Amino acid sequence: MKLLDRLQNRPRIFNLLHRLGLASARSQTSAAERACLCRHVAEAGVAVEIGTFMGVTAAELARSLRSDAVLYCVDPYLDGQAIQAIAMRHLGRKRVLGKVRMIQATAEDALGQLPAQVDFIFVDGDHSFEGLCKDWDVVKKLLRPGGIAAFHDVNPQPGLRVNCEGAIRCFDEVIRHDPGFRLVETCESLQVLVRGSHGS
């Protein structure tokens, strides 16, 4: 394993290296997955990312949004402020901070701080079965009819992190069968659904 990969688990050191320009923000989303998300977010006026980490996908989503649109980035940053600092710096360097509102909370706890209806949600937070089920409840509360919900790490792929099994099971047993939503695209580990025009 390369030194920088190992240092990613030492957030304060990684933050220092990022500040000095010696390390880049990291993401587990692939370029193809980010391109897919950016196509689906393009028409949104209000978008949400659940689980922002270092802000790599958030920056691309924000850049794809209309100039008057807003991206809410929701993450509790339970491991301390260093990862959040990297995310803020990365979004600043990509010149998209003006379109982003950062909420430091779990998706469930952020509900009161989010608009009542949103156009797009990217779910990439807690990958346990219970965690994704909670985020699915948040999606159903917030997403407008016709809106897009995208879920990361729910379509098994070679090399997918082992701790995604709960999320895969929640998607297969619960989310996939909701009659109010329809699968519109699969890209690697990503599944993209549209909410029916009457909601569910």
Ligand X SMILES: C[S@@+](CC[C@H](N)C(=O)[O-])C[C@H]1O[C@@H](n2cnc3c(N)ncnc32)[C@H](O)[C@@H]1O
Of 70 and 150, the one with the shorter C-beta distance to ligand X is 150
Options 15, 52, 64, 189; binder of ligand X; rule CB under 6 A: 52
Q: 169, exposed or middle or buried, with CB in 10 Å at 0-12, 13-18, 19+?
A: middle
Establish if 147 lies at the interface with ligand X (CB under 6 A).
no
Residues 154-173 that bind ligand X (CB under 6 A): none
The Cα 198–Cα 137 span in angstroms is 17
**For ligand X, which residue of 125, 143, 151, 189 counts as binding (CB under 6 A)?**
125
How remote is the C-alpha of 72 from its chain's centroid? 10
Binding-residue pattern over the window 9 to 38 for ligand X, x denoting contact by CB under 6 A: ------------------xxx---------
Residues 193 and 183 sit within 8 Å (Cβ to Cβ)? yes
Told to check if 64 binds ligand X by CB under 6 A, we report no
DSSP letters for 162-197? GGGHHHHHHHHHTGGG-TTEEEEEEETTEEEEEE-T
| Segment lying near ligand X (by CB under 6 A), choices 6-14, 88-96, 118-126, 164-172 | 118-126
In the complex, minimum distance from the CB of residue 65 to ligand X, in angstroms, rounded to a whole number? 16
Tell me the three state secondary structure of residue 103.
strand
**CA-CA distances (angstroms) from residue 113 to 68, 142, 179, 186?**
19, 12, 28, 30
**Sole binder of ligand X in the list 36, 44, 46, 56 (CB under 6 A):** 56
Q: Which of 13, 16, 45, 77 binds ligand X (CB under 6 A)?
A: 77
Instruction: Name the minimum Å distance from CB 106 to ligand X.
Output: 4
Shortest distance (Å) from residue 131 CB to ligand X: 6
* Residue at 126: amino acid letter: D
Residues touching ligand X, count (CB under 6 A): 21
Q: Residue 115 or 196: which CB sits closer to ligand X?
A: 115
The amino acid present at 46, given as its one-letter code, is: V
Whose CA is closest to 72, among 107, 38, 42?
107
- Residues near ligand X (CB under 6 A): 27-29, 49-53, 56-57, 74-78, 106-107, 124-126, 131
